[in-house]
Structure 1
Amino acid sequence: MLEAYLRSRLKQKQILLMTHIVIGYPTLEASLEVVHSMVEAGVDLMELQVPFSEPIADGPVILKANQQALANGVTVGQCLDFGRRVARQFPIPFLYMTYYNILFKYGVDRFADHMQATGLKGAIVPDLPPEEAADYLDAMGRRELSPIFIYSPTTSDARMQTIARVADGFVYCVARKGVTGDRTAFSRQIGDYLARCRTATQLPLALGFGVKNKTDVDFLAGKADIAVIGSQTLRVLENEGVEAMGRFIRQIVNAP
């Protein structure tokens, strides 16, 4: 189970690192190289985004990566093959991140069957609220997969508790209103928000949206359990290439 893995890792590290890639950006081959570099550099778990034409939770950096992957002709089937390959090759948990239209068109049970058969541990579907997720929750639960749900600073305490009742693995706490990639002020407000999240759920807490560097991750240590870096890894990839990815991650995790 994903939560058990996270609890075990948290006995060794004060905060874990989750990274995010868009499958097929800039190419499928480069995506595999990026995963290899990140795992070797010390990431603890990773989101694999299945590209979608309208990624409403994502900012311009991840949106551009989605658009380029789709322009390259990347298909859902290729993405699932990619997930199968990396889950079998690398010793960390992988999650799919995508939007519900992908699951709906592919078939929710069929998608969950693939995840179970290939070793994926869970999924993040940001546009699927718990009230409309019965089929998804049933499919994930029967296969012991983790549905990752989201808190935001505007989520009420009552809503947080509702989400906590159906979440599994961890809860993804977005650092602010808006989309991925914008600037986030890491201040006392973030600490207060995470303390409120901690009151609502016993699951580990991941915080993303605007985490860019080691300073941000160090700030979150002791407040969140997982720091999530997404848009910044894509910026490094675009500006410096695949070869820079391992160096970037090592700077954050203090690896030699």
Structure 2
Amino acid sequence: MGLQTYIEQRKQSKDLLVMAHVVCGYPSFAANMEALEIMAEAGVDLVELQFPFSEPSADGPLFVKANEQSLKAGTTVDQCFEFMKLASERFAFKILMMGYYNTAFKMGEDVFVKRIQEAGGVGYILPDLPVEESDNLHRLSAEAGIEPIILMTPTSSEKRLSQLGAASRGMVYVVARRGVTGSKTNMGDDVTSLVARCRQHTSVPIGVGFGISSKADLDALRGSADLAIIGTAALKIWEASGAAGLKTFFKDLMA
């Protein structure tokens, strides 16, 4: 089942889906699996597994630290793919690879796509790869049934949104504000207007991320976005209060 079809089917019984985020190997793969179990129990619909990278340019301080510490602990790309396979076989939610283009470049785009496919992933998010340079990777992905997730931002012109929309498949990731991940975002009219702008240029489902941290934020997105993307907020809870805190966080979020 393709990502867009999966989202549309889930939306028949839920007005807003939730996508969560885990940094592979931080603080450990065992902790990652425990977090995924909590997310699955809460009813999370998708999870992006971040492959740690030395220069995560789209990430805020907390995720930068998580990437650095995972790499210092010896996390490898092979381990991330092995973990993706374990998770995709164990859980009902769909899994995306999130990372940076260097990972695909070093192993070769064809190998990168094949490994995501073999590990049970349905797509990938590479925020540092411009669409102008992605033709070959997107072609390989289409042949394998793997979806490249395009990012749309508040600074994109209508012309740029049209270009991004033409390249979009599976879903679009709408960045709720300027900057990197981690800071709080006011989910008000500006975000709703941004989602409406983006919808004019794509027919695929729209997820909104960067700064979503509460049930109130999710409620503000209902009727506008298709998915709410939770990243830093969940990692902050894990750092502060571990598995018990994360369980309460997602229970309250999904209530």
Alignment match, 2:163: 162
Distance in 2, matches of 1:73 and 1:38, equals 25
Distance in 1, matches of 2:246 and 2:206, equals 25
Alignment match, 2:34: 33
Distance in 2, matches of 1:245 and 1:184, equals 21
Q: CA deviation at 1:14?
A: 0.6
Cα RMSD of the aligned pairs, angstroms, is 0.8
Structure 1 stretches (4+) deviating beyond 6 angstroms? none
Q: How does 1:222-233 map to 2 (within 5 A)?
A: 222-233=223-234
Alignment match, 2:51: 50
Distance in 2, matches of 1:200 and 1:85, equals 36
Alignment match, 1:172: 173
Residues 34 and 242, structure 1, Cα contact 8 Å, conserved in 2: yes
Distance in 1, matches of 2:148 and 2:45, equals 18
Residues 41 and 247, structure 1, Cα contact 8 Å, conserved in 2: no
Distance in 1, matches of 2:232 and 2:132, equals 29
Alignment match, 1:149: 150
Structure 2 counterpart of 1:96, one-letter code = M
Distance in 2, matches of 1:242 and 1:69, equals 19
Structure 2 counterpart of 1:240, one-letter code = S
Q: CA deviation at 1:243?
A: 2.7
Alignment match, 2:251: 250
Q: TM-score, normalised by structure 1?
A: 0.97
Structure 2 counterpart of 1:35, one-letter code = L
Alignment match, 1:116: 117
Distance in 1, matches of 2:14 and 2:130, equals 32
Alignment match, 2:205: 204
Distance in 2, matches of 1:51 and 1:78, equals 11
Asked if 1:68 is matched to 2:52, the reply is no
Distance in 2, matches of 1:60 and 1:70, equals 15
Alignment match, 2:5: 4
SS at match of 1:165: helix
Alignment match, 1:80: 81
SS at match of 1:179: coil
Q: CA deviation at 1:246?
A: 2.0
Residues 51 and 67, structure 1, Cα contact 8 Å, conserved in 2: yes
Distance in 1, matches of 2:191 and 2:38, equals 30
Q: CA deviation at 1:193?
A: 1.0
Q: CA deviation at 1:217?
A: 0.6
Distance in 1, matches of 2:243 and 2:100, equals 26
Residues 61 and 182, structure 2, Cα contact 8 Å, conserved in 1: yes
Q: CA deviation at 1:127?
A: 0.3
Q: CA deviation at 1:161?
A: 1.3
Higher relative contact order (CA 8 A, sep 6+): 1
Distance in 2, matches of 1:136 and 1:93, equals 21
Alignment match, 1:189: 190
Structure 1 counterpart of 2:181, one-letter code = T
Alignment match, 1:131: 132
Distance in 2, matches of 1:183 and 1:89, equals 32
SS at match of 2:179: coil
Q: CA deviation at 1:11?
A: 0.9
Deviation by residue 1:72-120 (Cα, 9 ceiling, x = unmatched): 1101110010001101111110000000001111221111111212221
Q: TM-score, normalised by structure 2?
A: 0.98
Same amino acid, percent of matched pairs = 41
Deviation by residue 1:166-225 (Cα, 9 ceiling, x = unmatched): 111100000011000112122111111111111111111100000001000110011100
SS at match of 1:55: coil
Distance in 1, matches of 2:222 and 2:18, equals 11
